[in-house]
Structure formats: C-alpha cells, structure tokens
Amino acid sequence: MTTLTASLATPVSTPARLARVTEPAPQAVEPARRSADPTPGVAGQDAERAGVRAPTERLTLAGAMVQFFRYGSPRTLTLGLLLAVGARLSVGEWTWWDALIVFGFLTFEPLQEWLIHVHVLHWRPRRVLGVHIDPYLARKHRAHHRNPWTVPTLFIPLRTLALSFAANVALWSLVAPTWPLFLTALTMLLVIGFGYEWTHYLIHTPYRPRTRLFKLLFQHHRLHHFKNEHYWMGVTSDLGDRLLGTRPDARTVELSPTARDLLGEGAAGA
C-alpha cells in the first residue's frame, strides 16, 4: 500500500502538459446562475467571504452519477473493480487473511489520504541538487484549489492510476502468499480508489448530502478549500486529521489568503 504514495509523486514538466493543467477542460456542471457555497455553516460563510461562487441548481444522486461516469478515472476504476471482484469471487478459498487485508486497507486509507494530500498534492516547488522539482500532481492540485468547482481538475489522472496499479501489482505479487489473497488486495485497492473519487467528486458538485456522515465530510473538505488549506486534509474520513492534529475548531481558524492560490503568487504561481 505504501507504493501508492510513492507512485503519485512522479514529476512532469513539459510546457504542453502544464498548459493542460492551468487551463482545464470545461466543467461538467455548468450552471446559469451562481451563489455562495451551498453547504450551510462555517464553510459556506467563508466561501462567500472569499468570493467563491458555487452552482445553485439542485443535483440528484442519479444525476451526479451520470456526470461522474463521463470521466476517465471513474470508468477505469469501475471496470477494474468489476473485473477484480469477478475474479475474486470465482476463485473462492476465503480465509481470515482476507478479512485482515480488508481491515488493513480501511485502517491505512485515512493516513494515506493525509500523507498524499500534505506531502504530494501540496508540494511546493523547490530545487533539489540543482533540479527544479514540481510534480504534475501538485500543479494539477493547485489548479483544483484555484477553481474548486471545475470538475475535471479533481480526478486522479489516468497515468497516475496506471502507475499506482502497476506498483501495487508488483508489491502484492511479492507479499501475497496465495492467488486469492493477491486478488483480495487488488480488489480493496480499487474499492478505496473508487470511494475516494466518488466522495471527492460529490463534494465539488451542487449535490446536497442527506446523511450525517456525508454532511460532515462535505463541511470538512470545503473548510479546507474555503477556510484554510493547512487543515482538514482528509476526504473520505477525518481520522487522519484527528490523529495528526489538523482538525481544529473552524471558528478558531483564520481565513487563509492562499486557500485558492496555494503558492501565494497569483496566476503565475499556479
């Protein structure tokens, strides 16, 4: 599982690819009117104070799903997940080790989200041994913060998915003692990836959550975008923030001037 974090930091620096990050494709949600963040509470108030405008129209869960599957990452993860689940069910031979692998993935995911968000997505460009390091994912994430309602910027790039999957296949082929356990691990990898993409996508749409859990996740992540980018790093869970001290009382945190411009350099720094 640790190879997932490492594989996300691959730097890419060609101008053409950078242009695609700084000028993302048109939004999937293109409302005629805009107003402040539809999430009630502190996140909505801070979005309004920051001048951020969100889609005003209602979006049903079914409508959100239709839009979700227009993008390559969700389609790829879904296809991979269906194949992995089918293969695992056909093999059988279930043991307690399968449950342990599932538990391990679910337990590690909040920490993995935190580590990737802090150390990869919020990476600040720097020179290391004379080499300028500014990974593609960090540049793409800066574009996401700059335009949080632009849907294409929030998905995991397909090449990152490919690298991550290949690295995990290599890792689990070495550590899994049996073929069934290998398939269990790959299935959980895809479940985690799909869950992350779906949750992150919904948070950045006009969909209004109904359950208490999703309301908390929406508020939590929008505080990260509209209140202060140094806190609330989790997406599918706030456990990593609770453990690592990045989940303060929002009322005690100042509105950050760089929540949308992570480098604090205007468009030039994006």
Strand partners, 127: 132
Distance spanning both ends of the chain, measured CA to CA: 30
Contact 167, 9 (CB under 8 A): no
232 burial (CB, 10 Å; 0-12 / 13-18 / 19+) is: buried
The per-residue pLDDT for 56 is 59
The reported pTM is: 0.78
Average pLDDT per block of 10 residues along the chain, 270 residues long: 45 40 41 40 50 65 93 96 96 95 96 96 93 93 93 92 93 93 97 96 93 93 95 95 95 93 66
User: C-alpha distances in angstroms, 120 versus 134, 169, 215?
Assistant: 10, 22, 26
SS percent in the chain: helix, strand, coil, step 5: 60, 5, 35
Query: What is the model's pLDDT at position 9?
Result: 45
Q: Are 39 and 120 in contact (CB under 8 A)?
A: no
pLDDT of residue 79: 96
Residue 265 has a pLDDT of 73
pLDDT at 53: 56
3-state secondary structure of 177: coil
